[in-house]
Amino acid sequence: MSGALKISLTRRYRFAASHRLHSPRFSHEENLRLYGKCSNPYGHGHNYVLGVTITGPVDPDTGMVANLGELDPFVEREVVEAFDHKFLNEEVAEFRESVPTTENVCREIYRRLKSFPAARLERVRIEETSKNSFEFAGESAGVEQRKP
Amino acid sequence: MIRVTRKVEFSAAHFYHNPSFSAEENRRIFGKCNNPHGHGHNYVVEVTVAGEPDPATGMVLDLKELKEILQREICDRMDHRHLNYEVPELAGQIPTCENIATVIWKLLEPKITQGKLDRVRLYESPDLFADCTADSNGSGR
């Protein structure tokens, strides 16, 4: 017999944006050494793919954790409209203070989506390219430190 | 522990309709998924089994057997079927990703005897999938 089950739902969204990895805390040479070509002063861009995972009880009347009719406009409003076809460093307030690495973009998107009212936000995953992906599941979802 | 994942695909029709809702509520809640003529998807199921490899075979489980189980339990039941009318396990439920993943978990869980069913991931499209896992700590419910 099956015990209690957990259901989560993941929806993918897309946005295209430019960014530049550069920190005013470092010298020009240090920025170049640290961020390499990502520090090019004119910036560059990616087709970001955002996976949003929510979890919660499945409503027996609808068969759903949350209605996509609510999730889609929420993510569109909170993230896609704010990030799509934007220069993240200048046009997303958060990244005037922090470097828009995809780690930080994950954190910022998680912060924006955390208040989704219809289900619990479990995880945010961003594919910066088809080769690089990043996940954030909240600060409490710690990484187990390997014992020496 | 090692996790082994096998993928299968099936194509099926469905629509969303709750007879206890009014026609207007059905349209509002389910949108175009409420079209009574139904519509279809190419579903992709990733089934993950976890366990320790048998030292003699080096395998968590025999993938040939898993393939047969997935064919029998998933594809033979659901491929080229209408999920609202032809899959008794879904009778009385809205055939959402969440519910289909749960039905697949319940069908597979007792059949997998080598290793332990770890996750059923059901893609309705590349941009939407549900995961069904054992609820280890009651979170998320």
Pairing of strands B81-82, B2-14: parallel
Q: Return the bridge partners of B42, or none.
A: B11
Q: Do B135 and A5 touch (CB under 8 A)?
A: yes
Whole-structure pTM value: 0.91
Residue type, A129: T
Instruction: Summarize the confidence of residues A60-81 as an average pLDDT.
Output: 98
- Superfamily designation of domain A8-136: 6-pyruvoyl tetrahydropterin synthase/QueD (3.30.479.10)
* Chain B residues in contact with chain A using a Cβ-Cβ cutoff of 8 Å: 16, 18, 20-21, 29-31, 93-99, 101-102, 105-106, 109-110, 126-136, 138-141
Residue recorded with tokens 């961020």 = A35
Q: Within an 8 Å CB–CB cutoff, is residue A7 touching chain B?
A: yes
B90-139 pLDDT, tens digit each: 999 999 999 999 999 999 999 999 999 999 999 999 999 999 999 986 54
Q: Do B128 and A1 touch (CB under 8 A)?
A: no
Of B93, B128, B136, the CB nearest to A63: B93
Q: What is the pLDDT of residue B136?
A: 82
Of A7, A12, A61, the CB nearest to B18: A61
Q: Within an 8 Å CB–CB cutoff, is residue A2 touching chain B?
A: yes
Token readout for B125 is 């499209």
A18-38 pLDDT, tens digit each: 999 999 999 999 999 999 999
Asked if residue A120 lies in contact with residue A54, where contact means CB atoms within 8 angstroms, the answer is: yes
Q: Which domains does chain B have, with CATH numbers?
A: 2-133 (3.30.479.10)
Q: How high is the mean pLDDT of chain B?
A: 95
B36-76 pLDDT, tens digit each: 999 999 999 999 999 999 999 999 999 999 999 999 999 99
Chain B contacts in chain A segment 56-85 (CB below 8 A)? 56-58, 60-65, 67-69
Whether the pLDDT of residue B140 is over 50: the answer is no
Smallest CA–CA separation between A23 and chain B, in Å? 34
The interface pTM score, or ipTM, of the predicted complex is 0.90
Q: Do B140 and A8 touch (CB under 8 A)?
A: yes
What percent of chain A shows pLDDT beyond 90? 91
Chain A residues whose CB is inside 8 A of the B132 CB are 5-7
Residue type, A33: R
- Nearest to residue B97, comparing CAs of B80, B121, B114? B121
Mutate to test the interface with B, among A1, A6, A67 (most CBs of B within 10 A): A6
- Nearest to residue B84, comparing CAs of B17, B25, B4? B17
Whether the pLDDT of residue A1 is over 80: the answer is no
Q: What's the half-sphere exposure (Cβ side, CA atoms, 13 Å) at A18?
A: 11
